[in-house]
Structure 1
Amino acid sequence: MQERLQRFWESNKVFIGFLVFIILFRVTIADQYHVPSGSMEPTIAIGDRVLVNKLSFHVKVPFTNVVLANLGEPVRGDIVVFEKPGDNTVMIKRLIGLPGDYLEIEDGFIRVNGETFYAPGEEPVEALREARMNDQALHYHEIMSDRTHTVQRLPFPARFDDKRIKVPEGHYFFMGDNRDNSNDSRAWGMVPRHLLKGRANRVLYSMIFDGLVPKFKWGRTGRSLYLPAEEQ
């Protein structure tokens, strides 16, 4: 038995070593995340596989949430992959609230520490009323940390209105860009820092299935998640 194992090791040690390297690389340095829902539309589409930098915020013990060292601070507007508190579901959302922030939600629009993030010249509240009259989705722009992204709203009454909350220390508040079709911090609360997995940077590739046939969306391959809003 020992000789058989020895022969197996000698024949496959390069492959085994490569496999271990790939696993450790994906666990500790970078990985891909498959997006199964439209909660981040229009920024991220269903079927996108996005590249996640797992060294954006900290180094962890492999296969655990034990943080060995902090490497960087999350920035408002970052698109972050994290574990949902309570059931360990992996999610991807946009970072809205930092530790110590005061958040207010009115008519579905977010205000942080008394400030809104609408792009100059846009009046999304009035535009939303018009969109409701025409039964159309509204797209408007937000500016966070000098980056502009597009947010989508549906022409229905907003949920979670008239709430004012404070983000606790060491926690973060996330929302999907598809504000009326996103299961996010409005439903299940804040995310502690140790559950953050990393910052999503770009689309590796995008694929959906037409029946049993895979359909690639080549135009999304390599696409940055932080393009100017007019290019999204």
Structure 2
Amino acid sequence: MRQWLKDNRGFVVFLLCFGFLRTAVADWNPIPSGSMRPTLLEGDVVFVNRLAFDAKIPLTDISVARLADPVRGDVVTFSSPKDGTRLIKRIVAVPGDVVEMRDEVLLVNGEAAQYTDLAPATEAMGDGVELPAIRATERIAGSRRTVQFLPPTAARRSFGPLRLGADEYFMLGDNRDNSEDSRFIGPVRRKLLIGRAHHILVSADILGGWAPRFERVAAPIQ
């Protein structure tokens, strides 16, 4: 073993540096589901900045330095408070906010979101199944994004009001009727945040024969 380490020390150092980089500095996250449609699609692989909010001891949730505070509108990866699964969603409310939803309309601190640019779309569900969808631009609390609704589905369209604690964040998927987010798993504590998703690295249509989607490569996540 000692001789193997001596003969392959360059490779070992590379693996150690690569492991430190991925667990403490930067990471990538494949998108397996449609919960963030139309912003992120199944088959996208996104770049995640692990130093966006906190510097943590690798492989732990222990923060050694706070670098910045998450803001409404950030797309983030985090560990689910329900079962530890890694998820990617959008922050819609931050510590101290009162958040609620009334018949699909998001409210933060009593301010109702405005929905414009409504347009029909279709949602691919796999195996050739498609559902009619509606896409709209959602504006609230100084941030904006494109969201999607699936009128035929049964979803949790009303909840709250809920006041967030001192280190709690409320997450929603942009695909509002097809997302297991804070409406179901509860608010997410800051220590469970992994990082902020910045850009799409590569993309392939996993629902359509794995055809590459070159137009999505290096696209910023808004």
TM-score by length of 1: 0.84
Give the match's secondary structure for 2:147: strand
Alignment of 1:10-29 (within 5 A): 10-29=6-25
1:99 aligns with 2:98: no
After superposition, the Cα gap between the structure-2 partners of 1:15 and 1:218, relative to the gap in structure 1 and judged at 3 Å, is: same
Q: Cα distance, 1:140 vs. partner?
A: 0.9
* Percent pairwise identity: 39
**Counterpart-to-counterpart distance in 2, 1:187 and 1:92:** 14
* 8 Å Cα contact 1:203/1:223 also seen in 2: yes
- Amino acid in the other structure paired with 1:179: R
RMSD of aligned C-alpha atoms?
A: 2.2
1:185 match: 182
Alignment of 1:56-135 (within 5 A): 56-118=52-114, 122=116
Q: Cα distance, 1:10 vs. partner?
A: 2.3
- Amino acid in the other structure paired with 2:53: F
Deviations 1:91-115 (A, max 9, x none): 0000011111111211111100111
Aligned residues: 211
Structure 2: any 5+ residue segments left out of the alignment? 121-130
- Amino acid in the other structure paired with 2:80: K
**Counterpart-to-counterpart distance in 1, 2:53 and 2:140:** 19
Give the match's secondary structure for 2:200: strand
After superposition, the Cα gap between the structure-2 partners of 1:110 and 1:207, relative to the gap in structure 1 and judged at 3 Å, is: same
Flag the structure with higher strand content.
2
Give the match's secondary structure for 1:37: coil
- Amino acid in the other structure paired with 2:220: S
* 8 Å Cα contact 1:107/1:158 also seen in 2: no
Structure 1: any 5+ residue segments left out of the alignment? 129-134, 227-232
1:7 aligns with 2:3: yes
After superposition, the Cα gap between the structure-2 partners of 1:158 and 1:63, relative to the gap in structure 1 and judged at 3 Å, is: closer
**Counterpart-to-counterpart distance in 1, 2:219 and 2:105:** 27
2:194 match: 197
TM-score by length of 2: 0.87
* 8 Å Cα contact 1:77/1:144 also seen in 2: no
Q: Cα distance, 1:74 vs. partner?
A: 0.1
1:222 aligns with 2:196: no
* 8 Å Cα contact 2:73/2:90 also seen in 1: yes
